[in-house]
Amino acid sequence: MLQNKMLQRAGSVATGRVLRVASLVLASTVASGCGGGGAVGGDAETLYVNVVYPLSTVGLLQPGTITPTTSGFEGHSPACSLAGGTLPPGMQLNSDCSVTGAPTAPGTYSYSVRVGAEGAKGSIDSAGTITVNAPTLVYAFTEAKNLGSPVDKRMSIFNWPITGSGTGRWTFSIVEGALPAGLTLDPATGNISGVINAAGTFAAKVSGTLSAPAGSYTPREPATVFMTIGAPAAEYPTNYEVGYTTTHVGHFVNLVPLVRGTTGSSSTPTLNDYRLGSVSLPAGLSLDNATGTISGRPAALAAPLTVPITARVAGSDYAVGINLTISVDTPFAAIRYEEPVSRAVGAYSALVPRIYPKVGVSLDFTSYQYAYAPSSQPDCMPGMTLHGGTGMITGSPTTPGTFTCNVILTATNLGVSWQEPISVTMKFE
């Protein structure tokens, strides 16, 4: 009777608290009376015990320990047994209420533990939940890359301890598809590295198997690698009015190739080892094999011609073709003599050449020399004389009529010379 009252009183004290909180009565403090009249040898001691299991997450095949929060045992050892539910395979409940072991199957497991105390009567039940997470494999990239780009991509293993703290080892392999040429898979880490040496779209699936003392596990879904590898393209600056590259004779040229990579890529590929094909550059120009820069002073006029050039993608043996169409034009927009419609025979006349440069072209360092073309006689305008340094035609015409003379202008700019034809017609009356 006294024990029951004490349990009842203890229960009233714990009113409103969860089932994990209850009273355990020490068996040694209760004595049985004779003749049906119970007697108590002393006051019974009541233990107010609190046992709480945390919501726990453990790694598959990884040793783990789940220790509940306990209080109220007052020096008495707990005594625990599984009352219901299921623990993860590979884990066990110990008498001290802890759960230990390396789980061998993923999932969520709910269980109930019956808790007693050494030397006490009665028990309470405490519930817990253990989630066993299986590792998942992920590559943290699906992107556009340039051919020739270096790659160093790490395999991410979720629900797996930080590298070095896990128990067991991984082995990785490609189970579907293929990586671009130049890239390799590290079978121990799953990392992908190398320099891309092929263009195209590539997809591969990489699986891994974890081997640990408690067993082995292969994730159901392999990690997917998807890469779009674009071949770079290059071109030289173009005069959009004519659709090709234009330069001017005698004037310095510095053409730098414009290299474009794959759309969506964060980098621009590097080209090197530039080489000319079967067609040479215009005289006076040269190609820098390392950078592709074309520089120099064109030494002669040249009609548009196409020059094939190849370059290698740095770090690979992939060749990029570049077709350069280039012309060497005159820097002059117009050259003509300013002359009246007619002059009187015997009257002094002076015909002056006028040179008009193209927009954006400087003639500051250009010198000129004039001479009659072979088709024109020195006296093509009787009585008139051509001055070689200025191009002026001066004198007093002696013969009436209309005369046409062809003049050759030799222009020199910083050591480079070229010729321009000029035609002049004059009437003398």
Sequential DSSP letters for 342-368: EE-TTS-EEEEEEEEEPTT---TTEEE
Residue 195 has pLDDT above 90, yes or no: no
**Which of 66-80, 142-156, 186-200, 388-402 has the weakest average pLDDT?**
142-156
Which alpha helices (DSSP H) does 71-113 contain, by range?
none
Q: Do 319 and 387 fall into the same domain?
A: no
- Shared domain for 110 and 171, answered yes or no, is no
Whether residues 242 and 309 share a domain: the answer is: yes
- Rounded mean pLDDT of 155-178? 82
- Domain count for the chain, please give it: 4
> By mean pLDDT, which of 2-16, 75-89, 164-178, 288-302 is the weakest?
2-16
Let me know whether 80 and 108 are in one domain.
yes
Q: How confident is the model at residue 29 (pLDDT cuts 50, 70, 90)?
A: very low
- Return the minimum-mean-pLDDT range out of 71-75, 161-165, 207-211, 215-219: 161-165
Q: Which long-range contacts (CB under 8 A, 24 or more apart) does 183-189 make?
A: 183/151, 189/154, 189/155
Domain housing 120: 2-133
Q: What is the domain-level CATH number for residue 28? A: 2.60.40.10
Task: Using a cut of 0.95, tell me whether the model's pTM lies above it.
Answer: no
373/250 same-domain check: no
Q: Which long-range contacts (CB under 8 A, 24 or more apart) does 369-373 make?
A: 369/409, 369/410, 369/412, 370/407, 370/408, 370/409, 370/410, 370/422, 371/407, 371/408, 371/410, 372/405, 372/406, 372/407, 372/408, 373/406, 373/407, 373/408, 373/421
Task: Give the pLDDT of residue 12.
Answer: 29
Of 230, 261, 291, the domain-final residue: 230
pLDDT at 318: 85
Of 162, 195, 230, the position where a domain reaches its end is: 230
**22 pLDDT more than 60:** no
Whether residues 316 and 241 share a domain: the answer is yes
Same domain, yes or no, for 280 and 387? no
379-397: per-residue pLDDT in tens?
A: 788 999 999 999 999 999 9
Out of 298, 329, 360, a domain closes at 329
Rounded percentage of the chain residues whose pLDDT exceeds 90:
48
206 & 316 share domain? no
Sequence-separated (6 or more) residues with CB below 8 Å from residue 414 = 250, 252, 297, 365
The better pLDDT of the pair 225, 317 is held by 225
- pLDDT of 130 > 50? The answer is yes
**Tokens standing for residue 34:** 């004779």
Claim to verify: residue 74 and residue 151 sit in the same structural domain: no
- In the predicted model, is pLDDT for residue 35 greater than 70? no
Query: What tens digit of pLDDT does each residue of 1-13 get?
Result: 223 222 222 332 3
